[in-house]
Amino acid sequence: MKPLVSVLTPAYNRAAFISEAVESVLNQTYDNIEYIVIDDGSTDDTYNILQEYEDTGRLRLLTHKNRQNRGQSASLNLGLKAATGDYIVILDSDDRLHQDKLQKQVEFLEQNPGIGMVYGQAMAIDEGGKELFPIPPDNHVEPGDPNRLLLDCYMALPGGAMVRKTVFDRVGFFEEDFRASQDHDMVIRLAEAAPFAYVKGTVFYYRKHDDTISSQGLERRWRAGFEILNRAATRYPYKRSTLRKRRALLHFRMGQVYWKQGNVGRSAIHILLAGFGDPVRAVNVILGVEKPN
């Protein structure tokens, strides 16, 4: 028997893209799939579109009680509780999978029983589907070190990875208190719990939108980043240099946010803390040698 793959898609107001995401799962070359879509209280036509798919028996549609909007983490947790597969894949509702993704990643994990998570490349696309660039770049090499992943946040869990259900069972659920950066929090917890690997090649298409995150949204993201870092430091023996450099990067990002908000004083404090925490990287950023991740 082929292993069962549970694919989870949290969906909120993505009527323009949800059919494309769903079809990319239903048209996989791998056929032993349990597809669970969680509508997070959509107010556009997303829920109606998903109901039509459910009526055909091609996916299972879940909602929160009274069709409340509870956020991506709560939606994914609802899906994880319902999932029965050997492997878990998460796909955002505006992205799409490469048709061979499940087949290739199942084969890899079946051949490498000591690996808990495998990921591949995303191909960034614009709103119309035009291909832009690969993420990570073609020269990417995975060191298999949680320190590197915590520091640079380079892996896309939604779309890019396939994870053994036993590893998810070990690390628990997504943190519902986070309304931003919950994916980064989960991926480093997974990396702490089991070895992970990278296989070059496009496995999904990541849609880049023209709309930008508000300064309030960015502030929420980087504040969550500090909490994620603090929790990581208590769970796993990260290098002190990793923790220091990640904290410096978060201060740099907060400095950018406050600068855009016109709060020069608070911005300066965070920029100074970033420089003290990682002076080499600070100089490289100033000189344009490196762009912070």
Contact yes or no for 184/228 (Cβ under 8 A): yes
**What's the pLDDT at 211?**
57
Q: What span, in angstroms and rounded, lies between the C-alpha atoms of 72 and 79?
A: 11
- Give the pLDDT score at 179: 78
pLDDT of residue 288: 56
Structure tokens at 68: 């409340």
Question: Cα 123 to chain center, whole Å?
Answer: 14
Tell me, what DSSP letter sits at residue 138?
A: T
Q: Phi then psi for 58, rounded to 5 degrees?
A: -90, -15
Q: How far is CA 279 from the centre of its chain?
A: 29
Instruction: Give percent of the chain with pLDDT exceeding 90.
Output: 82
Domain span(s) for CATH 3.90.550.10 in the chain: 5-207
Q: If you search the block for the tokens 């502030």, which residue do you land on?
A: 219
**Residue 32 corresponds to which tokens in the numbers above?**
């032993």
235 pLDDT exceeds 80?
Answer: yes
In this structure, the strands spanning 131-135 and 117-125 are antiparallel
- Summarize pLDDT for 143-192 with one digit per residue, the tens: 999 999 999 888 878 889 999 999 999 999 999 998 778 999 999 999 99
165 and 86 in contact (C-beta within 8 Å)?
yes
Q: Are 244 and 278 in contact (CB under 8 A)?
A: yes
Residues 53/22, Cβ–Cβ less than 8 Å? yes
Q: Which two tokens stand for residue 218?
A: 């960015």
Least confident span in 48-57, 144-153, 209-218: 209-218
Residue 262 DSSP label = T
> For the whole model, what pTM was predicted?
0.92
Best mean pLDDT range from 65-79, 146-160, 200-214: 65-79
5-207 folds as Spore Coat Polysaccharide Biosynthesis Protein SpsA; Chain A (3.90.550)
Angle at alpha carbon of residue 154, lines to 70 and 249, rounded to 5° = 85
Q: How many Å apart are CA 292 and CA 95, to the nearest integer?
A: 25
Q: Tokens 């614009």 — which residue?
A: 126
Among 141-145, 200-204, 205-209, 225-229, whose mean pLDDT is lowest? Answer: 205-209
Q: Which residues contact 225 (CB under 8 A, 6 or more apart)?
A: 181, 184, 250, 253
Angle, CA of 154, 159 and 164, to the nearest 5°: 90
